[in-house]
Amino acid sequence: MNRPWFVRSAVKRERAVADTIPVRAPLLALIAATVVAAIFAPSAVAFSEPKVLASKNGVLKTTFVAEEGPATVDGKTIHGTMTINKRYPGPTLKLKPGDRVEIKYVNRLREATNLHFHGLHVSPAGRADNVLRRFRPGTTNIVSLRIPHDHPNGLYWYHPHLHGQVNTQVLRGMAGMISIEGGSARVKKLAKYKKRNIGLTLMQYDQTGTQVINPNDQNDFTATTLVNGKRGQRIRMRPGQTELWRVANMSNEGFYRLHLEGHKVWIVGQDGNPTRVAQNTSQFVIAPGSRYEFLVRPAKTGTFKFRQLQEDVGGGSIYPNQDLLTLNVSGRSATSQRIPRRIKNFTDLSKARVKTRRTWRISFTPNNAPVFHGLINGKAFDPDRIDTVAKIGDVEEWTFRNETDTAHPIHLHTNDFQVTKVNGKSRRVPAPIDNYILPANGSITFRFKPHTYTGVAVFHCHILFHEDNGMMATIKWSRGTAKASVRSADSLGAYSSSAISAKVFDPATAPDDLNPAEHSHGDGADAEHRLHLQAVKASRSIPGAPNTGDPNDWLFCRLDEIQS
């Protein structure tokens, strides 16, 4: 499990004594993985994709039924699953720019859930991509959203996003792909290739091979990576033939270093966006939540493995070598299609005027804390707290600093971003993305310009165990100022049973000197500011809370603490 080594149990959220738990037992894990692979080794089957639900006449109207297993996984009946419409993984939604999506979501689980459209630029409010909703057990909920007419073509995915439940529900199977195709944003240079959608999920069985393990007992080194819910699939191509493979990492926490034996591939898309140019590479790492699109063109006949290579992301988390599928190349050579060098330009924010800069610190609670939390600027997630506000149309620059020894994939909802620096070194932006790996003990800097939609969204680590344990924060997309009100509609099943209405202090607007006599928030400023300072001071008594003088120290103020 990709979590700090000192965490004993995610159920009780207790700390273990540091010198009583080994970080890893790689040899034993390797032996176990080899035995499991030998017992449950698959036979080769033709490549297949999940069931497709496609829009018609501009509308996709369907029903999602969430329920507990058993389900068919890799040709076997597996107990302990959670699925959408009894399928592992869930059905693929095939949409066009401009489509309307209407989903009747029936929750037959014994626990609450909800639905997130990962990577889509759609509204985070109301009944759309609202991750602050709660679909209670035994209820039917309506999800309704519209895909913008200029939405990029590409691969996205959906999964539950109810804080505290996400890791378990995704590991057990509640995820599926979303394919956006056609419309005015279609990239003609890529439209001519045959497409294959490859959904990667992480599954771990008990010793019988018939039951999903308790997520708290997950071991990344012995877990199995599945392609569209199966192992041992084969793809047949002719020499010189070119295909567009689109890979979505729908695992709860897997990092995969992907490699096609004997080949280089051309990366032409990331997180649903076409890259500026085709990038020729022999291997690349795809983080949990990310998607890559790449062209495959075999030059000669033979049998080649598409594999994940061993990847160590720090903190004792190692993902092993595994064969994902087999490429069989045979027959008469096809006429080779020219690989496009330049794919599509985009508005590069590297030289843009930055309106606001923010710094976010990623950490864990100290070893002696009674409860484990993943933290952003020293605070665990609170859905009733607005952590920051960004104005539509303003360019923001965010820097994330990793104070842990493990990598974290940082995901931003609603709006894509452009990574401009990694560990302080400038880089050329290959494409706008929504998910990027923050290196262990390192940093990343990215820029974005929020547009179109207002409402409350989140950003977080996409290792779902970390997200569930607090490594997430809220952001309000606003057309106004940082004093905007936030309302939580009870009719939508939000977290709080009472509506929230409070003034929001944007961390980016905080002064360097927290002297109430020199800073004003408008009407009632003195009283409000004194309350705010008291809240900040109180938060700094919590282990791990910041006292850096950074503007983002201001985010640690609950809304109910600053109401006048």
Structural domains for the chain: 52-188 (2.60.40.420), 190-329 (2.60.40.420), 356-562 (2.60.40.420)
- What's the pLDDT score for residue 370? 87
Q: What confidence score (pLDDT) does residue 215 get?
A: 87
pLDDT > 90? residue 539? no
What percentage of residues in the chain have a pLDDT greater than 70?
Answer: 77
Q: What distance lies between CA 260 and its chain's CA centroid?
A: 24
Query: Is residue 41 over pLDDT 70?
Result: no
Amino acid in the structure at residue 563: Q
More confident residue, 26 or 389: 389
- What is the pLDDT at residue 336? 76
The pair of three-digit structure tokens given for residue 544, joined into one six-digit string: 């791990």
Q: Above 80 in pLDDT, residue 298?
A: yes
pLDDT of amino acid 217 = 87
Mean pLDDT calculated for residue range 27-37: 48
**Edge-first strand listing for the sheet containing 302-309:** 45-46, 233-237, 322-329, 302-309, 256-260, 283-286
Residue 470 and residue 542: Cα distance in Å, rounded? 15
Q: What is residue 333's predicted lDDT score, i.e. its pLDDT?
A: 92
Q: Is the pLDDT of residue 190 over 90?
A: yes
pLDDT mean over 158-163:
98
Model confidence at 294, pLDDT cuts 50, 70, 90, reads: very high
Residue 338 is predicted with a pLDDT of: 85
Two tokens at 345?
């330009």
Q: How far apart are CA 196 and CA 552, in angstroms?
A: 43
Rounded CA-CA distance 416/411 in Å is 9
Residue 176 and residue 287: Cα distance in Å, rounded?
A: 16
Q: State which of 114-123, 185-194, 512-521, 538-547 shows the largest mean pLDDT.
A: 114-123
Least confident of 45-49, 79-83, 104-108, 511-515: 511-515
Q: Does position 32 have pLDDT exceeding 90, yes or no?
A: no
pLDDT in tens, 382-408: 999 999 999 999 999 999 999 999 999
The pLDDT value recorded for residue 224 is 95
- Give the least confident one: 3-7, 194-198, 394-398, 405-409: 3-7
Q: Is the pLDDT of residue 521 over 50?
A: no
Note if the bond before 432 is cis, omega within 30 degrees: no
Question: What is the three-class DSSP state of 137?
Answer: coil
Does the pLDDT at position 512 exceed 60?
no
32 vs 49, residue with greater confidence: 49
Mean pLDDT of 320-341: 93
Model confidence at 480, in pLDDT bands (50, 70, 90)? confident
**Alpha-carbon span 446 to 398, nearest angstrom:** 6
> For 204-212, what is the mean pLDDT?
92
Q: How far apart are CA 45 and CA 43, in angstroms?
A: 6
Question: Does 503 score more than 50 pLDDT?
Answer: no
The stretch 296-305 carries a mean pLDDT of 96
Any idea how long the chain is? 564
549 touches 512 (CB < 8 A): yes
* Mean pLDDT of all residues in 143-161: 97
Rounded mean pLDDT, 185-192 = 90
Confidence of residue 227 (pLDDT cuts 50, 70, 90): very high
Q: What pLDDT is recorded for position 527? A: 44
Least confident of 12-21, 106-115, 120-129, 290-299: 12-21
Q: What is the pLDDT of residue 43?
A: 58
Return the higher-pLDDT residue of 2 and 341.
341
Residue 189 has pLDDT above 80, yes or no: yes
The predicted model gives 225-231 an average pLDDT of: 97
What six digits make up the tokens of 159? 């999964």
With vertex at residue 411, the alpha carbon angle to CA 406 and CA 416, rounded to the nearest 5 degrees, is 140
Q: Is the per-residue pLDDT at 516 higher than 50?
A: no
User: What's the confidence (pLDDT) of residue 335?
Assistant: 84
Residue 240 pLDDT > 90: yes
Residue type, 380: A
pLDDT at residue 367, as a whole number: 82
pLDDT in tens, 89-126: 999 999 999 999 999 999 999 999 999 999 999 999 99
